[in-house]
């Protein structure tokens, strides 16, 4: 149970065939251009071994990736280099992606970087500005590109003129390597072969370590440029035994950018069978999570194109299209429809999607205010290395570990929008590669996107760097056999290591193992409670809520509703949705408090606002049954539909009844049958039992429609007569098991 609330997955290219593939029609026609400059045969100083080879290696990479134009120039003097930059300025105008790769000598003077043509002599420091090319001039050649301007400098070698050049002014500082840059242009990245103030190596082979890694990762199909540059860094650090560390300066916006767009749309299904995550969440469910709060016809239609074979989510998407069509007949705008579902939300990813999709909405400021409340508090130092950037704050907002710092709610694993989290966290790690919490959160984004190879790599890297969240996440891979064989003992040992180091997430995870008696671990409520208590002492809300469950159920401790209520209250104050809904249940049923439907409704509403489908469904039941509110079937249907959209099979079953009997809506037996089937497929045992044992609870028209649906699905071949005999019941069982 603990795992189900803390982990899960969303496809790595979240809606690679939906949200982002909707834009892919434009991307396929996008113009991508590159200029590659290799200077090695210097006239007045030492020659280099690799630039010509490096340029040819990069040319092959960009051409294989389908770039529209790849221009190469070798051993250029200053005039020729300026001419090449000027010509490329015209080529880059209007391009989506423009890249300049330079391999050769470079230098820094007084904090300004220069690239050296082959004809430089630099007898004095006065000659630098006249003979060398300032980096600013290189950047200007990219200004016309619209989405990505990328300068790659394999030029961080020792300045060959440092000893021979006469200093005319003593304050003119000429240092090793290149100087740090802070690009002011939008969508500009500057990638150094080695970070500011350090030097790069030529390597022992025909190519530099930096060029070798670039060719391997930069144009990897379907990999965002920030992720690719992070992989380049790690490869070079390993290849040079940590003596060279590439670095990236600058930042991009929220959209993912692929340099190789030939194979962005990756098939993540196994034949006709939906692959399911270790926590049982299908790809369709995960993708629906990322668009259900948007009132966007195009996205929903692309979702249908991808997931039309999944009957439950096909129905949910078709219902959404129907509601949008109805809204189009009124004056209600799409952003108003979307905002209605988000106006009290604590889902940072959903609010971010809203702003991206409706940038001109009058609710934008409200969404931004809600997002600001979900980020780590201003003034709180969120970086282990002292660098608090917007990308790092975005990474925390979209993939942050719950309660990993004071006052920070964090993100439930199942609610991670992997595409947006991946973009933000990759940028954050590029800016701050030594911050192991950011590396761990990049792993979370990749894990949520089911890219288990990269997730494991980053979890391991974070764990090796001392981050206990990374170690705990790595342990779950062993517990569930996420990317290999199940190894409970290994996972348990990693939990224990992180827990003994004081990590509250690991302590709660260890508590879960003992509580569930999972994988052969002896079930031990006392041992479980001990670990949950340690976690709760650190303010971990999920652990507090679980202690509330221990006292409510009387497992390992005497049943004590007062204690249970107290723990649920603490956990709810910490933002735990399960605790909020459990408080609602306590007030609804008088557990540790007088029965109070109004107070129960208040807590269910709080939980519903943070996306708890169970609470949404119970609010539907309140209006359905007239508890604490006047009976109102229309309101009940609204809440049930919200819960169904969030995946509640119980709500789907109740919607079936409303449509069957025309309660709060026009009677529609076909719609009722579809909701009933969705409920059974979603795993609601009550609806399955009712259909099999109490067919008279349903109208004759419904019974015929369900038989027709079962026949269409290939489960039933008998007559459409409304008689739920053995053949119909067998077909219902097959529907439940999807066999």
The DSSP code sequence of 16-72 is: TTTHHHHHHHHHHT--EEEEEEE----SSS---SSHHHHHHHHHHHHHHTT-SEEEE
Cβ atoms < 10 Å from Cβ of 604: 29
The string over 288-303, giving b where at least 16 C-beta atoms fall within 10 Å of a residue's C-beta and e elsewhere, is bbbbbbbbbeebbebb
31-251 carries CATH number 3.30.1370.100? no
Task: Please state the separation of Cα 181 from the chain's center in Å.
Answer: 29
Instruction: State how far the Cα of 397 lies from the Cα of 343, in Å rounded to an integer.
Output: 18
Length of the chain: 739
Strands 97-103 and 32-38, by their bridges, are: parallel
| Segments of the chain with pLDDT less than 70 | 1-30, 156-160, 162-177, 197, 201-204, 254, 261-281, 379-380, 386, 738-739
Cα dist. 199→105, 106, 136, 165, 384 in Å?
A: 11, 10, 21, 19, 25
Task: Look at residues 674, 671, 701, 677 and name the one whose alpha carbon lies nearest to residue 691.
Answer: 677
**What pLDDT was estimated at residue 347?**
80
Strand, coil or helix: 154: strand
Instruction: State how far the Cα of 18 lies from the Cα of 21, in Å rounded to an integer.
Output: 5
Quick check: 123 and 177 in contact, CB under 8 A?
no
Beta bridge partners of 192: 153, 247
**What pLDDT was estimated at residue 624?**
95
SS3 content of the chain, % helix, strand, coil (to 5): 55, 10, 40
Q: Look at the alpha carbons of 682, 686, 692, 697 in this order and tell me if their dihedral is positive or negative.
A: negative
**What pLDDT was estimated at residue 268?**
31
The sheet with strand 106-109 has its strands ordered as: 133-134, 112-115, 106-109, 174-175
- The set of residues, in sequence order, having a beta carbon less than 8 Å from that of 453 and lying 6+ positions away, is 483
Strands 32-38 and 112-115, by their bridges, are: unpaired
Beta bridge partners of 107: 114
What are the start and end residues of each CATH 3.40.50.1460 domain in the chain? Answer: 31-251
Instruction: State how far the Cα of 478 lies from the Cα of 471, in Å rounded to an integer.
Output: 11
Task: Please state the separation of Cα 145 from the chain's center in Å.
Answer: 27
Q: Give the phi and the psi of residue 332 in degrees, each rounded to 5.
A: -75, 125
Task: Look at residues 490, 482, 426, 414 and name the one whose alpha carbon lies nearest to residue 458.
Answer: 426
pLDDT tens digit string along 335-380? 887 887 777 777 888 888 888 788 888 999 988 888 888 888 776 6
**What pLDDT was estimated at residue 724?**
94
Cα dist. 93→26, 90, 331 in Å?
A: 17, 5, 40
Cα dist. 179→108, 114, 153 in Å?
A: 6, 10, 12
- The set of residues, in sequence order, having a beta carbon less than 8 Å from that of 492 and lying 6+ positions away, is 475, 479, 510, 513, 521
Instruction: State how far the Cα of 641 lies from the Cα of 662, in Å rounded to an integer.
Output: 15
CA angle at 635 for the pair 289 and 696, rounded to the nearest 5°: 90
- Residue 127 is classified by DSSP as G
CA angle at 220 for the pair 217 and 221, rounded to the nearest 5°: 170
Instruction: State how far the Cα of 615 lies from the Cα of 586, in Å rounded to an integer.
Output: 13
- Residue 101 is classified by DSSP as E
- Residue 690 is classified by DSSP as H
Task: Look at residues 117, 121, 200 and name the one whose alpha carbon lies nearest to residue 164.
Answer: 121
Task: Look at residues 179, 45, 166 and name the one whose alpha carbon lies nearest to residue 109.
Answer: 179
Instruction: State how far the Cα of 314 lies from the Cα of 709, in Å rounded to an integer.
Output: 14
């Amino acid at each position: 149970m603990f795992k189900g609330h803390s982990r899960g997955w969303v496809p790595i290219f979240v809606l690679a065939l939906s949200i982002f593939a909707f834009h892919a029609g434009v991307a396929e026609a996008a113009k991508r251009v590159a200029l590659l400059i290799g200077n090695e045969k210097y006239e007045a100083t030492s020659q280099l071994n690799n630039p010509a080879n490096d340029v040819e290696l990069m040319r092959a990479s960009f051409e294989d990736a389908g770039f529209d134009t790849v221009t190469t120039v070798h051993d250029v003097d200053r005039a020729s280099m300026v001419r090449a930059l000027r010509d490329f300025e015209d080529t880059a105008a209007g391009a989506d992606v423009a890249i300049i790769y330079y391999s050769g000598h470079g230098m820094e003077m007084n904090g300004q970087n220069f690239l050296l043509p082959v004809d430089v002599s630099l007898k004095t420091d006065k000659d630098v500005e006249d003979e060398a090319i300032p980096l600013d001039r290189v950047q200007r050649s990219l200004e016309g590109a619209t989405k990505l301007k990328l300068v790659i400098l394999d030029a961080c070698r020792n300045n060959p003129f440092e000893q021979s050049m006469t200093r005319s002014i003593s304050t003119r500082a000429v240092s090793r390597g290149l100087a740090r840059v802070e690009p002011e242009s939008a969508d500009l990245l500057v990638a150094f072969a080695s970070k500011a103030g350090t030097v790069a190596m030529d390597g022992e082979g025909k190519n530099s370590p930096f060029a070798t890694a670039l060719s391997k990762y930069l144009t990897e199909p379907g990999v965002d440029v920030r992720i690719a540059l992070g992989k380049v860094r790690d490869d070079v650090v390993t290849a040079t035994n940590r003596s060279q560390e590439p670095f990236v300066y600058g930042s991009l916006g929220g959209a993912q950018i692929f340099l190789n767009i030939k194979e962005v749309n990756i098939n993540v299904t196994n034949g006709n069978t939906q692959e399911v995550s270790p926590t049982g969440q299908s790809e369709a469910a995960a993708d629906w999570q990322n668009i259900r709060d948007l009132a966007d016809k195009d996205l929903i239609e692309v979702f249908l194109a991808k997931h039309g074979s999944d009957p439950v989510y096909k129905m949910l998407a078709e219902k959404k299209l129907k509601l949008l069509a109805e809204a189009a007949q009124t004056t209600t705008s799409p952003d108003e429809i979307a905002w209605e579902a988000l106006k009290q939300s604590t889902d940072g990813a959903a609010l971010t999607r809203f702003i991206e999709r409706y940038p001109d909405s009058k609710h934008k400021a409200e969404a931004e205010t809600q997002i600001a409340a979900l980020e780590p508090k201003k003034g709180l130092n969120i970086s282990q290395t002292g660098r608090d950037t917007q990308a790092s704050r975005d990474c925390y907002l979209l993939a942050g570990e719950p309660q990993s710092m004071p006052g920070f709610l964090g993100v439930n694993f199942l609610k991670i929008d992997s595409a947006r989290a991946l973009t933000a966290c990759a940028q954050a790690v590029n800016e701050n590669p030594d911050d192991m919490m950011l590396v761990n959160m990049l792993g979370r984004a990749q894990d949520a996107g089911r890219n288990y190879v990269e997730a494991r790599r980053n979890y391991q890297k974070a764990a090796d760097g001392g981050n206990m969240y990374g170690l705990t996440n790595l342990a779950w891979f062993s517990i569930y056999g996420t990317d290999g064989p199940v190894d409970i003992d290994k996972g348990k040992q990693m939990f224990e290591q992180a827990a003994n180091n004081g990590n509250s997430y690991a302590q709660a995870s260890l508590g879960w193992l003992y509580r569930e008696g999972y994988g052969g671990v002896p079930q031990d409520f006392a041992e479980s409670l001990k670990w949950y208590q340690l976690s709760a002492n650190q303010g971990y809300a999920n652990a507090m809520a679980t202690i509330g469950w221990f006292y409510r159920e009387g497992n390992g401790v005497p049943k004590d509703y007062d204690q249970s209520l107290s723990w649920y209250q603490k956990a709810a104050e910490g933002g735990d949705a399960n605790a909020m809904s459990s408080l609602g249940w306590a007030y609804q049923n008088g557990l540790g408090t007088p029965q109070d439907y109004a107070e129960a409704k208040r807590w269910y509403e709080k939980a519903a606002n943070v996306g708890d489908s169970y609470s949404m469904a119970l609010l539907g039941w309140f209006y359905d049954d007239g508890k604490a509110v006047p009976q109102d079937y229309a309101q009940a249907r609204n809440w049930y539909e919200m819960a169904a959209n969030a995946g509640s099979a119980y709500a789907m079953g109740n919607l079936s009844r409303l449509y069957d009997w025309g309660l709060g809506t026009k009677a529609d037996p076909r719609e009722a049958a579809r909701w009933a089937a969705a409920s059974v497929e979603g795993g609601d045992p009550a609806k399955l039992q009712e259909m099999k044992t109490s067919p008279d609870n349903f109208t004759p028209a419904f019974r015929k429609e369900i038989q027709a649906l079962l026949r269409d699905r290939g489960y039933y071949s008998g007559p459409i007569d409304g008689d739920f005999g053995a053949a119909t019941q067998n077909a219902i069982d097959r529907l439940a098991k999807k066999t």
